[in-house]
């Protein structure tokens, strides 16, 4: 078990995102006991960090849980987030396109196509390219192969899912419009 130095910051943000969950205040007696338990239980999740916890908290906005199962769902989503993290992209040197396609046929993100859909974080932004959703190169072998073999002028215009997963740039794996957030103070991005 390790100390979660980021937990207090995460907790404040999480409570702000989920006012409808009717969670106790952190400074109440019940809140202190509950969140101490949360901290201990999250510390036992292998690979947990602020980013995984935040991604799980955001997922709870889209896929909410009942009040009684709020924390259990949060942990489930943290574990899922950690599990789906990309390993270092595999080198594609020496592979043919056919070999890359064969190795990627069971990719759960792109179904073997090498491309996934990503969404712009702010479709109304003046920096938006005019496209709210675009294709990005996947993390699978075919996605890496396509990126490695694309012309540099094309690579500049096609997002890389490796960057999207790390939160680099304005693209996300989920459609921000589906987040039903009415209070701009709790908007997660």
The predicted pLDDT at position 40 comes to 92
Q: Map residue 51 onto helix, strand or coil.
A: helix
Cβ neighbours, 10 Å, residue 75:
18
Query: CA separation (Å) from 146 to 53, 73, 96?
Result: 31, 36, 11
Q: Where are the alpha helices (DSSP H) in 64-140?
A: 70-84, 97-104
Structure tokens at 96: 């043919």
Integer Rg of the chain from CA: 19
The predicted pLDDT at position 34 comes to 94
The predicted-structure confidence for 111-136, as pLDDT tens digits, reads as follows 999 999 998 877 666 555 556 788 99
Domain boundaries, the chain: 7-85, 97-176
pTM (whole model) above 0.85:
no
Q: Which residues of the chain have pLDDT under 50?
A: 1, 88
- What is the rounded CA–CA span in Å between residue 50 and residue 182? 24
């Amino acid at each position: 078990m390790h100390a979660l130095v980021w937990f207090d910051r995460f907790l404040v943000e999480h409570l702000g995102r989920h006012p409808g969950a009717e969670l106790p205040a952190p400074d109440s007696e019940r809140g202190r006991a509950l969140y101490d338990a949360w901290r201990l239980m999250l510390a036992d999740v292998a690979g947990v960090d602020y980013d995984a916890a935040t991604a799980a908290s955001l997922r709870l906005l889209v896929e909410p849980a009942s009040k009684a199962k709020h924390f259990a769902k949060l942990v489930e989503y943290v574990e899922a987030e950690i599990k789906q993290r990309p390993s270092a992209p595999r080198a594609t040197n020496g592979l043919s396109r056919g070999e890359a396609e064969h190795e990627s046929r069971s990719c759960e993100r792109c179904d073997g196509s090498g491309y996934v859909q990503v969404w712009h974080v702010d479709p109304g932004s003046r920096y938006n390219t005019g496209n709210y959703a675009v294709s990005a190169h996947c993390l699978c072998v075919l996605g890496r192969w396509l990126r490695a073999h694309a012309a540099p002028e094309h690579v500049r215009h096609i997002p890389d899912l490796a960057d999207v997963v790390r939160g680099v740039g304005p693209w996300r794996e989920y459609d921000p419009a589906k987040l039903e957030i009415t209070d701009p103070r709790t908007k997660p991005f």
